[in-house]
Structure 1
């Protein structure tokens, strides 16, 4: 029984590592952005990490730190994985490599339902990739 539990725990760690490497968010709001998650996928050395938290009262907080990208804009968008959608929150640029969710940001009921379904994502846009260079889907 112990050996079976150890194998299950090892498998769980692998699943979490793969999820983080693939440009998705974990349940604690931690995200890893990559070009492979963009639609269409972008070949880039750029990457990003951060934490985006959506609370039960629909307030949104967090930030994203980027690497190897000159970001010109960053947003939280409404769309499921594999699709593009409209921005719902524009992140503010704190420094060359850091983007913050503006204080007081809050989702509508429709946007919150989309979040609960995994249909919100964050991405960072560059001059070379105006539609977005790196992206991560947000998961409740």
Structure 2
């Protein structure tokens, strides 16, 4: 589902799952992301998780088939919600990665410290 917002950006709702991890994992955990990137490179939104005791969540650099470094740590705002920090903004190189489909959201747990659920950010 896509809802248009200002600055030419979009407000997608996307689903995080273990099947999107590299390598894929089997888990009951899931999540929904409303994280968006505006044309001015600002990042906003949050991730809501289900069936998961998360230890951390981040936006990473990496294609669909690779794991990569953290570029924006998300802030845990409740037991089930991680939010983008208010001042988050991508660099020019990170924005180019975003446009190429090479950024992803990953939620980590004790059972899966490298990531339990994931989704690529789509421009």
> TM-score with structure 1 length normalisation?
0.80
SS in 1 for 2:65: coil
Give structure 1 regions of 4+ aligned residues with deviation exceeding 3 angstroms.
none
Task: Choose from 25, 31, 51 the match for 1:42.
Answer: 25
Q: Cα distance, 1:50 vs. partner?
A: 2.0
Residue 88 in structure 1 maps to residue 76 in structure 2: no
2: CA distance, partners of 1:65 / 1:81: 21
SS in 1 for 2:76: strand
2: CA distance, partners of 1:28 / 1:61: 10
1: CA distance, partners of 2:122 / 2:67: 16
How many residue pairs get aligned? The number is: 115
Match in the other structure for 1:108: 91
Residue 127 in structure 1 maps to residue 110 in structure 2: yes
In the alignment, structure 2 segments of 5+ residues that lack a partner are 2-9
* CA RMSD after TM alignment: 1.1
In the alignment, structure 1 segments of 5+ residues that lack a partner are 1-15, 17-26
Looking at secondary structure, tell me which structure has more strand per residue: 2
Match in the other structure for 2:6: none
Looking at secondary structure, tell me which structure has more helix per residue: 1
For the 8 Å contact 1:123–1:135, the answer to whether it is kept is: yes
> TM-score with structure 2 length normalisation?
0.91
1: CA distance, partners of 2:89 / 2:111: 30
Deviations 1:41-77 (A, max 9, x none): 1110000002011001100000000000000000000
